[in-house]
Amino acid sequence: MLTQNQIDGVIAFHGHHCPGLTFGMRIGDWVLNEFGHATDEEIVAVVETDNCSVDAIQYLVGCTFGKGNLVFLDYGKNAYSFFRRSDDKSCRLIMRGGLLQDLREQQEKLNANDIAGRKQIHQQMIDRILQADFEKIFSISHAQIPMPETARIHPSQRCDCCGELVMATRLLNDPVLTGGKNLCIPCRNIHHKEI
């Protein structure tokens, strides 16, 4: 169970308290109990969403983009995989859905100017997430993807189009797709029709 200091810290880190952040708090609490806290790269999170929940995971579990142990896959799913490097332990948490459906329907029926009513439902959502059994919120299985490699620093090279430095592993060089030029992803997307 998270302490009030941890909850307050997550809210301060994120900027406000909302249902999405509360889902992330529940995930973070579960991961801390099952995997521990990442002081460096020993715990890896692969998140398939960029919603508020990810801020709680960063704050509580210690997985961050800068350390390379937070990987974002832009799939639009409330799905989260975690890995512990020391023993290859892994899991995938997927939100089951439906927990807040009735409250969301009530919220939709409210007049847009009913701020008090919206705040009340908002708090009911947060309370329900905090009180629900974890297994009613998330299904738990083994991770379906391999553990990401440890973070590595790659050399930079210039894009032949914009001239900006790019991590060498992100440059595209293909005789057909780029005309044999080294292109960064944005330049390849902009200029691929011209090549």
The two tokens of residue 35 are: 């995997």
Dihedral in degrees, nearest 10, Cα atoms 100, 104, 106, 108: 180
DSSP 172: B
Whole domain around residue 47: which residue ranges? 4-141
99 touches 132 (CB < 8 A): yes
Q: What CATH number should be reported for the domain holding residue 135? A: 3.30.1330.130
Task: Please give the mean pLDDT across all residues of the chain.
Answer: 93
Domain check: are 113 and 19 in the same one? yes
Domain check: are 176 and 84 in the same one? no
Kindly state the average pLDDT of the residues 94-98.
95
- For the cut 70, the answer to whether the pLDDT of residue 193 exceeds it is no
pLDDT at 153: 83
pLDDT at 22: 98
How would DSSP label each residue in 45-92?
EEES--STHHHHHHHHH---TTTT-EEE------EEEEEETTTTEEEE
Domain check: are 76 and 125 in the same one? yes
pLDDT at 195: 46
Angle between helices 19-34 and 115-131 (to 10 degrees): 10
pLDDT at 147: 94
User: What is the tens place of the pLDDT at every residue in 170-183?
Assistant: 888 877 677 788 88
